Structure 1
Amino acid sequence: MRTLRQESRHVFPSLGRWFRWLAPGLLLKRWMLISAGGVLLVSLGFAIWVKLTPIYYLTQFAGDFLETVTRMVPNYMSGPLVAAVGFLLIWWGQTRTFDSITEVLMPDEDQGLVDVLWTHRRLNRGPRIVAIGGGTGLSTLLRGLKLSSTNVTAIVTVADDGGSSGRLRREIGVLPPGDIRNCLAALADEEKLMTELFQYRFKAGDGLTGHSFGNLFLTAMSEVTGDLERAVAASSKVLAIKGEVLPATLSDVCLWAEMEDGRRIEGESNIPEAGGKIVNIGCTPANPPALPKAIAAIHEADYIIIGPGSLYTSIIPNLLVPEIAEAIAQRQVPCVYICNVMTQPGETDDFTVADHIRAIDRVCGQPLFDAVLVQRRPPSAKAIAHYAKENSYPVVLDSEAVGQLGRRIIRADVIDEDPDTGWVRHNPQQLAGVLLRWYERQNRALYAQESREDMVRSYHREG
């Protein structure tokens, strides 16, 4: 019985995979049928070439043999038996063929070739999504989105001037690669290994201490290819990226903020450290030109997601590129903003959800998104106490004010809490799942509305 169970576990999945080859959308059956037709035509051509003489004797022998078999075994038994043997040989031959292909192309894969093709086709048919932001928030979102679509484009800020990115920016003159590095690792096919490799920081070495490998890799690629855009494109091919990562601009942007007490703070890394309330924010040079591919991605998008991330140092720097903000405003597609769960000291102290929305609207001069995603349940008391030590508190949802700003509210539980440290982070799968379900509902509602409008127009024409 144990042996039978083991065999059945092997046979039934294999049988299921074999039938999956017949599913629509793999773009294989048509080519297999064309190949079979070619074999028949080649056979027919040779038969005509040799004037049918060998074919005649062969068919005569086959006919005599079959006649003898049917006399010995009734046709209602011999016919199905021969057909079953034929099907068995076809199944055996095809299975061994695809197993051989799989062994060569994917020696380390546990999935069958059909499973990989099925997943590839499903992801390729996913919506065209543009995600805008920076920092760890955007890379967290990308980890979830890549499981539902390969048509994901991340537009990333290049205003970072702290840590390893800042050093490379000052010493070599390259655009800061840190946020782009995080997004590339998140979209990589072998995400765990790539993340460990790209996030690895050198602990020794003259000039290497503190640098991450990913930053050095992208810097070297920028030097080899000529600029950061080409470096990211080349790196994406090397790392088998599922999607695309684009810098918002290729300009050397420096962020500045004006505080309520009149101070002007220069540099992205200095703004949160300055303390006080931000009343205005901008960049030098003002109005930097957008990367053309980023604008094209927005124009082709089915869905636009802004955030999550630090409001003033990860999200708004992208929107300080006027062409990006204008392109988003022109698109009549679902657009959602993911609000932070906790306030950030030095950036969003005492901010509510409506305050986040007002800050973005003020920078852009117009509303960009239809809805805001907020965490439904607050973090645990332990997590709140942990954050309170750093003057960080849950972002309060002021529903009435959000409604007056013309935004819908999406409430969902999309966070995880680290039981040891108490840190709160978005869960990639839950976050992406909520966003994609909301997108599908919006599409269904739009389709129903268009159908009703078509019916009304048709009624008036007939009237």
Structure 2
Amino acid sequence: MTIGFLKQALHVLRQESRHRTPSRVNQWFKWLAPGLLVKRWLLLSASGVLLTTLGFAIWLKLTPVFYTTQFLRQILDRLTDIIPSYISGPLAMVLGFLLVWWGQTRTLGSITEVLMPEGEEELIDLLLAHRRLHRGPRIVVVGGGTGLSNLLRGLKRYSANITAIVTVADDGGSSGRLRREIGVLPPGDIRNCLAALADEEKLLTELFQYRFKAGDGLTGHSFGNLFLTAMSEVTGDLEQAIAASSRVLAVRGQVLPATLSDVRLWAKLSDGRYIEGESSITEANGTIVQIGCTPADPPALPKALKAISEADYIIIGPGSLYTSIIPNLLVPEITAAIAQRDVPRIYVCNIMTQEGETQGYSVGDHIRAIDQACGQPLFGAVLVQKKTPSAKAHIRYAQENSNPVPLDRDVVARLGRRIVLASVMDEDEQTGLVRHDPQQLARVLLRWYSRVEGL
């Protein structure tokens, strides 16, 4: 009977393993991975139970322990008379193992059901991902526009210690209207970055990006812009509003404005015109020879300076050169903080030129423009797209007076920059639209960082 029962128990285990092994076994072995802070606390709990039991026994002068061991000894002697020890011992071990396995499975299943009702992922996988992301490098990314938010979508897969420093010089579209009508700092670029760093909160992200198509005064506004504006009024400033929105969206990292000052861009063009306003600069369709902001020398957000001082890695761009990247660097404290850091610093150059800002620009021209605005070099390397876009993309962008940014190696070398050449482009086959691929771009940037750090 006993051997038959043992065979039946093994059969049950085999049936279970047929459905769950090897994936289930792999999931269990993941709990043994270092750094989860699970094993040590389980061991500590077990030690506490043993110590409590020992203390209780000592308190009662070991009398209950003596009688209990005597009673158990009599039971075990009689049991081994009926069932030989070479059968009863392994049988008890198997039954004990089954009870432990069943209890732990049900316990973790109950916890997982509460924390993850949809059950799409294993709890251990989330814990491992959480530990990996929070051990990632502290990355500071400086920029704005779609280029920055596109990069953040890729970086958040490698680290949760990301700080996006975003320009607040936008004065067009929904952000511009809110700025003029209510007097708040433009929330558009901040909204895009928050949505990009959101931790798989798809519905909330879509809600944040939703743009009203009808309604008196609402048309053209995005829900995220209105939400940030309302939060700014409730909390008192944009910084607190961003922090509250980050909690709602479960953001990995943080998004910070470069300054809380009401910054307005101005530019001098080669034909002598003086243009004020971020949107007006691009619409002027001229060659920019100088750019600045009013008020001059705006104070930096202290949290942004702190993030830069603690960064392991600083990335500048991608984004519109004069209206997304350089506005952040017109804050002198931001520029000085970056220049003082002896960590890997890289500039991600745009793939295509932009009409009204960088038409006819080469990679070297982009670097010179940043150096001129900052008064000093801020990065030691530049990432340049390797493969050229298709003929369809060339035709599409030629209609917008835009072309691929050419690489002038000799100029870049004279400027003292190292070239990182990689294929990080994503081209829409139907429309010919060219963008940086978030995953490829992040992978190349992290690979370069690891290589530089290893030197």
Compute the TM-score of the two structures, normalised by the length of structure 1.
0.92
How far 1:72 sits from its partner (Å)?
Answer: 4.5
Aligned counterpart, 2:202: 192
Q: Find 2:142's aligned residue among 102, 124, 132.
A: 132
1:252-281 residue CA offsets vs partner (Å, 9 max, x unmatched): 000010000100010000111101210000
Residues 370-405 of structure 1 deviation map (CA, whole Å, 9 limit, x = unaligned)? 110011100111111111111110000111111111
State the partner residue of 1:41.
51
Corresponding residue for 2:35? Answer: 25
Give SS of 1:336's match. Answer: strand
Q: 1:356 aligns with which of 360, 366, 369?
A: 366
Match of 2:158 in 1: 148
Paired residue type of 1:351? Y
Which digits, 9 at most, give the CA deviation of each residue in 1:210-263, with x for residues without a partner? 111000000000000000011101111121111000000000000010000100
| Number of the residue aligned with 1:114 | 124
Say which of 234, 238, 244 aligns to 1:234: 244
* CA positional deviation for 1:115: 1.4
Query: Offset at 1:70?
Result: 3.6
Partner of residue 4, structure 2:
none
Moved more, 386-395 or 246-255: 386-395
Amino acid at match of 2:43: L
Task: Report the equivalent of 2:65.
Answer: 55
Q: 1:138 to 1:80 in 2, by over 3 A?
A: same
Name the counterpart of 1:455.
none
Determine which of 392, 405, 412 is the counterpart of 2:422. 412
Distance of 2:445 and 2:435 partners within structure 1: 16
In structure 2, what is the Cα distance between the partners aligned to 1:404 and 1:397?
A: 13
1:179-210 deviation line (CA, Å, top 9, x unaligned): 00000000111353333212211111111111
Shift of 1:59: 1.6
Q: What is the rounded CA distance, in whole Å, between the counterparts of 2:233 and 2:84 in structure 1? A: 79
Q: Which amino acid aligns with 1:336?
A: I
CA contact (8 A) 2:201 2:250 kept: no
How far is the alpha carbon of 1:331 from its aligned partner?
0.2
- CA–CA distance in structure 2, aligned partners of residues 289 and 392 of structure 1: 35
Give the direction of change, closer, same or farther, for the CA distance of 1:191–1:434 in structure 2 (3 Å limit). farther
* Residue 346 (structure 1) shift: 0.7
Give 3-state SS (helix, strand or coil) of 2:29's partner. helix
1:252 — aligned with what?
A: 262
Task: Find the aligned partners of 2:213 and 2:127 in 1 and give their Cα distance.
Answer: 42
More off after superposition, 74-83 vs 109-118 = 74-83
1-structure distance, mates of 2:250, 2:287: 43
Aligned equivalents of 2:202, 2:384: Cα separation in 1: 28
**2-side partners of 1:190 and 1:48: how far apart?**
54
CA displacement at 1:33 relative to structure 2: 1.1
Across the aligned residues of Structure 1 and Structure 2, the Cα RMSD in angstroms comes to 1.6
Partner SS, residue 279 of structure 2: coil
Give the distance between the partners of 1:155 and 1:109, measured in 2 at CA.
35
Match of 2:192 among 176, 182, 187: 182
In structure 2, distance between residues paired with 1:78 and 1:6: 24
Query: 1:6 deviation in Å?
Result: 9.2
Write out aligned runs for 1:71-110 (5 A): 71-110=81-120
1:92 offset after TM fit, Å? 1.6
The runs of 5 or more residues in structure 1 that have no matched partner are 446-463
Report the Cα offset of residue 341 of structure 1.
0.2
Which residue of structure 2 lines up, in the alignment, with residue 457 of structure 1?
Answer: none
Partner of 1:261: 271
Q: Distance in 2 between matches of 1:6 and 1:391?
A: 65
Q: Tell me if 1:284 matches 2:294.
A: yes
Q: Is it true that 1:304 corresponds to 2:314 in the alignment? A: yes
Secondary structure at 2:205 match in 1: helix
SS at match of 1:154: strand
Distance apart, 1:9 and its partner CA: 4.4
Taking the aligned partners of 2:113 and 2:440, their CA distance within structure 1 comes to 34
Comparing 67-76 with 138-147, which one deviates more in the overlay? 67-76
How far did residue 114 of structure 1 move?
Answer: 1.6
- For normalisation by structure 2, the TM-score amounts to 0.94
- AA aligned opposite 1:89: L
- Tell me if 1:424 matches 2:434: yes
- Aligned partners of 1:81 and 1:410: how far apart in 2? 64
Q: Which amino acid aligns with 1:180?
A: I
Select between 278-287 and 97-106 the one with higher mean Cα deviation: 97-106
Rounded Cα–Cα distance in structure 1 between residues aligned with 2:396 and 2:16: 51
Aligned residues: percent identity?
A: 71
Task: Determine whether 1:295 maps to 2:302.
Answer: no
The structure 2 residue matched to 1:10, chosen from 20, 38, 42, is: 20
Whole-angstrom CA distance in 1 between matches of 2:208 and 2:254: 17
**Secondary structure in 2 aligned to 1:304?**
strand
Shift of 1:71: 4.3
Distance 1:113 1:144, change over 3 A: same
Give the Cα separation in 1 of the matches to 2:394 and 2:19.
48
- Deviation per residue, 1:347-389 (Å, 9 max, x gap): 0011000000000001111110011001110011111111111
What is the CA–CA distance in structure 1 between the aligned matches of 2:16 and 2:327, rounded to whole Å?
Answer: 57
* Closer, same or farther: CA 380–8 of 1 in aligned 2, 3 Å: farther
Deviations 1:85-117 (A, max 9, x none): 222221221121111111112212422222111
The equivalent residue for 1:393 is 403
How far apart, in 2, do the equivalents of 1:430 and 1:222 lie?
35
**Paired positions, count:** 442
Structural mapping, 1:305-384, within 5 Å:
305-384=315-394
Q: Secondary structure at the match of 1:269?
A: helix
TM-superposed CA distance for 1:410, in Å, is 0.7
* Larger displacement relative to structure 2 (374-383 or 161-170): 374-383
| Bigger mean CA offset, 52-61 vs 427-436 | 52-61
Q: Distance in 1 between matches of 2:332 and 2:401?
A: 33
**1:449 match:** none
